[in-house]
Amino acid sequence: MSKKKSKALPQRKSFNLTTDGWAVTAALILALLVRLGLIHRVPW
Amino acid sequence: MAQGSIALPQVQLLRPTQWLGQLVPGVLLLAAIGYLGKICEQSLSAYGKAHHLPLPNIEYVLWAILIGLAVSNTIGIPAVFQPGVATYEFWLKTGIVLLGSRFLLGDVLKLGGLSLMLVVLELAVAFSLMTLLGRWFGLKPKLTSLLAVGSAVCGVAAIIATKGAIDADDDDSSYAIAAILALGAIALFTFPLIGHWLHLGDRAFGLWAGLAVDNTAEATAAGALYSDAAGKVAVLAKTTRNAMIGFVVLGYALYWARKGQAREVEGKASFLWRKFPKFVLGFLLISALATAGIFNKAQIGSLGNLSRWAFLLTFAGVGLRTNFRELKLQGLRPFAVGAIGEAVIAVVTLGMVLVASKLFHL
């Protein structure tokens, strides 16, 4: 069995959202659009 | 849940338009498979009604997963689709945050409080059991730690977070991830069957699925397969479990650091914050906004449906990322430890949920 160790990622200086950050941002934008009436009556 | 970004490392170097361009084919594939699942459900139901046939109601959740599994295990996923398919976790978390609008904060606190109590018990059982099983089967201690975290808390994401914190080998995390993925897939199909067999109520089943099924996507799918109401409770219980991830990873990091086999943990509070799944905060925020009356009834309906569309893509992704050949290559022993552990955890959590159902009238 190989003994590969994970390498630490280099420090990212640029702004980079995690999946959680993207998901929360997207959900809040959608909620805002729904609240403003720009998205309404979403069908299912 | 995973703390990584959606983008693969090499994708991060691309311009935003190129990056989005890489995601489009896979996202369209998720949408196509999910929508096909929805069409299958509606068509089968319409056919049964038109011909007066007692056909079973097979939910779009199951269709989407089965179609995804069929694609992944026959033709495979061409490279052009892979970055987009990997976004299924983004859709899952977006769906969960939006689902917050369907919960009043009081319900979240009541059900979440009950979930938290049961989660603490579940964690104690899961850690003790997996550690014992790992020793009996002669697994490497760090592999045992990863399996314990995967089965106790949050599946793959917890394993990835713990792997970094305890300096585990890549091989160990691959084994643990494969075992947890395979077990999550099995639980996804068996839990609803057992729930129906035991005539569990929606809330009780949702609580059980949220407590015992690994991976948020699988727990969400298992709940949704049972019923809409069970799906909501499953998400809440699983989210409570996810919220514990920081404490668990910190505990293991300190344990292995004390043994001199992992880096020291500097700044425990910031460590906890880094590992805390932030989408839980988004879920609570949307729930608080809904409770405060920011959205009217129609708007809450729209947010709920947007959440369903996001889950539709997630369920397609669950099927697409499960490749039985790859899982088989990972070996039997970690799988056996995981399977025995999961079976016992499922029975114990079922017992806990049944007692809680009686006590709290779920």
ipTM, interface predicted TM-score of the complex: 0.77
Q: Which of B:178-237 have CB within 8 Å of A?
A: none
Q: Which residue has the tokens 């003790």?
A: B128
Q: Which residue has the tokens 């976790």?
A: B89
**pTM for the whole structure:** 0.79
Distance CA B227, CA B203 (A): 10
Q: Which residues contact A28 (CB under 8 A, 6 or more apart)?
A: B97, B282, B285, B286
Residue type at position B309: W
Contact A24 B281 (CB under 8 A): yes
Find the residue in B nearest to A12 (Cα). Answer: B12
Q: Which residues contact B190 (CB under 8 A, 6 or more apart)?
A: none
Tell me the DSSP string of B229-274: HHHHHHHHHHHHHHHTHHHHHHHHHHHHHHTTSSPPPP-HHHHHHH
Domain extents in chain B: 23-360
pLDDT tens per residue across span B154-196: 777 788 778 777 878 777 777 787 788 788 888 888 999 999 9
Q: Name the token pair of B81.
A: 């689709």
Distance CA A36, CA B254 (A): 48
Residue A6 has pLDDT above 70, yes or no: no
> How close A41 gets to chain B, by Cα (Å)?
6
> How close B142 gets to chain A, by Cα (Å)?
13
Distance CA B268, CA B272 (A): 6
Answer whether B65's CB lies under 8 Å from B314's CB: no
User: Which residues of chain B does A38 touch, with a Cβ-Cβ cutoff of 8 Å?
Assistant: none
- Best A12, A20, A25, A35 member to test B by mutation, with max B CBs in 10 Å, is A20
How many CA atoms does the CB half-sphere of B16 hold within 13 Å?
A: 2
Residue by residue, pLDDT tens for chain B (362 residues) are: 444 444 444 445 677 788 888 999 999 999 999 999 999 989 988 888 888 877 777 788 888 989 998 999 999 999 999 999 999 889 999 999 999 998 888 878 888 888 888 988 988 988 888 888 888 888 888 888 888 888 888 777 788 778 777 878 777 777 787 788 788 888 888 999 999 999 999 999 999 999 999 888 889 999 999 998 999 999 999 888 888 888 888 888 888 888 777 777 777 788 888 888 888 899 999 999 999 999 999 999 999 999 999 999 998 998 898 888 777 776 777 778 888 888 989 999 999 999 988 887 77
Q: Name the token pair of B274.
A: 């880094």
